[in-house]
Chains A and B, each alone.
Chain A
Amino acid sequence: MSLYEDVIVVAEQYMGPAAEQFIARRYKVIIGPDDPRLLVAADIVRLAEAIGIAGAAYMTDPKAAAFKKEVLALLEEKK
């Protein structure tokens, strides 16, 4: 599985059917207009930061923090 797919799997736990679009939107805002499937490990930290901030609008702060933490954990797994 690619890093992008891993992020989507994590995001589905928190955003359900909106996971893909939520990640695409964060990618677009933080990294650029490219295809989010081109996500690389170097972008993960910034993306996770954006997820933590934006996620807090849709869920409780602890849950948003957990979301961010799980995304950052992917970085460790990929190492």
Chain B
Amino acid sequence: MSSLTLSGQMRTRIGSSLKTRLMLAFMVTAAVPIVFVAGLLCFQASRTLERNLFEYLEGMSGAKAQTITASVRAMKQEVATAAVSMRLAASMAHTQNATFAEGAESRGQLVDNLNRILRGKEEFEEVFVVSSSGTILESTSPDNNGRDVGGSIYFKQGSQKTYVESGMSAEGSGEYRAVIASPIKDAGGERLGVLAARLNLAPLFEIVTDVTGLRRTGLSYVGAIVDDQARILSPLRNETQSTAKTAVGLGSVAAVPIRDAVRGRNGQGIVPDYRGTSVVAVWLHIPEMGWGLVTKIDLEEFREPLRAWMIQVCFMGLFVLVITGIGAHLLTGKIVRPIVALTDAAERFSRREADVKIDISSEDEIGKLAASFSRMVAAIKFFKEMGEEKP
């Protein structure tokens, strides 16, 4: 306390210190609820946006998966129907049993039948018949005539029932292809061979790659298991055709969506994609083709509106804080000013300054303290004068 008598600097320090503390108290009182409410709003907005986006992506993926499944089923139905055609069976039987001289005519009929199946159907790239021994008898792509496909899965499975095989071409072309195969039987039910159709995947990929409503970074793609890897088949955004080059190991921790989808697992989440970038993704398995379908939007883009909203909230919070700061400054000034004046008077009086008068007229505690101090000063001065007058 003795240091109070040293200088006016001490007075200033005490006053500003109290003011600073009061201002801080006001600011903290205002800031804590603002930060809490802003944080809560941001959290809720984030959750709502996330939920809505997942629902949206889920709907979009589901629609695409359904369209692909329906298309493949329709194609299966078409191949199966063509395979049981009596005309096809007859021409095939005739071809297989024909003598060399008759062969040309019967083969011509078979090709006509195949071309009739292919005509006007962009979903098939090639239609061909395979003999019961596994050799391509006739194809709409004549280069493939005579090729042995007896070892292929579609031939083996297609000999029993209508079957879809998708995967890398076993003939060594290195292409990904899908083949629908269905058994050809004669009138007596005897198996003559297999009718097979190689699918044109482009229309299916078009369904997948439609990015309508997927914003700037959104896209859908399908993949399949190829050589123990999850390989993306459809063209990615801004690509015109499939490269089928992007592949992820099935045991990899990256590219969760495609890795899980090709293995038959459906899901959704914020996960790293094949680029290692965090995405908001929904993934589905399409059993009909053995494909995994992924629809995603980059997390960064998803957070853009949230970030903009958070910046707005921060600015609003800052504005409220500034207003609170100004209010606190004015209010604390009003509170502290009489205390500083009283401190100043007390200090001057303690330094034996005679002309100490305080003009604080408030009715609060500070006013009462000032009045008491004023009375004390008046009494002391009076008694002092009286004492000086006595001798």
Contacts and interface: CB of A to CB of B under 8 A. Distances in A.
B348 interface: no
B360 to A, nearest CB: 10
**Interface size, A (range):** 10 to 19
Contacts of B358: 60
Residue among A12, A15, A25 with the highest chain B CB neighbour number at 10 A: A15
Contacts of A62: 359, 361
Interface in B76-109: none
Contacts of B381: 57-58
A58 B349 CA distance: 12
A18 B378 contact: yes
Given A60-B357, A60-B358, A62-B359, A21 B377 contact: no
A18 B374 contact: no
A15 B357 contact: no
A15 B359 contact: no
Contacts of B378: 14-16, 18, 55, 58-59
A14 B375 contact: yes
A59 B382 contact: no
B331 interface: no
Contact of B379 (A18, A55, A57, A60): A18
Interface string B359-391: 101000000000110111111011100100000
Contacts of B361: 62
Contacts of A60: 357-359
Given A13-B375, A63-B374, A21 B357 contact: no
Interface in B21-66: none
A62 B358 CA distance: 11
B250 to A, nearest CB: 92
A4 B363 CA distance: 27
Contacts of B382: 15, 18, 21-22, 58
Contacts of A33: none
Interface string A6-39: 0000001111111001100100000000000000
Contact of A63 (B359, B383, B386): B359
Contacts of B371: 13
A16 B376 contact: yes
Contact of B383 (A18, A55, A57): A18
Residue among B359, B375, B386 with the highest chain A CB neighbour number at 10 A: B375
A15 B359 CA distance: 15
Interface in B322-351: none
Contacts of A13: 371, 375
A18 B378 CA distance: 8
Contacts of B374: 14, 59, 63
A63 B356 CA distance: 13
Contacts of A57: 381
B357 A16 contact: no
Contacts of A16: 372, 375-376, 378-379
A58 B377 contact: yes
B386 A21 contact: yes
A64 to B, nearest CB: 10
Contacts of A21: 382-383, 386
A78 B344 CA distance: 41
B371 to A, nearest CB: 8
Contacts of A22: 382
A19 to B, nearest CB: 8
Interface of B: 357-359, 361, 371-372, 374-379, 381-383, 386
In order of increasing CB-CB distance, the 4 nearest A-B pairs are A16-B375, A58-B378, A18-B379, A18-B382
Given A16-B379, A21-B386, A58-B377, 19 more contacts: A13-B371, A13-B375, A14-B374, A15-B378, A16-B375, A16-B378, A18-B379, A22-B382, A55-B378, A57-B381, A58-B378, A58-B382, A59-B374, A59-B377, A60-B357, A60-B358, A60-B359, A62-B361, A63-B374
13 contacts: A13-B371, A14-B375, A15-B379, A18-B378, A18-B379, A21-B383, A22-B382, A55-B378, A58-B377, A58-B381, A59-B357, A63-B357, A63-B359
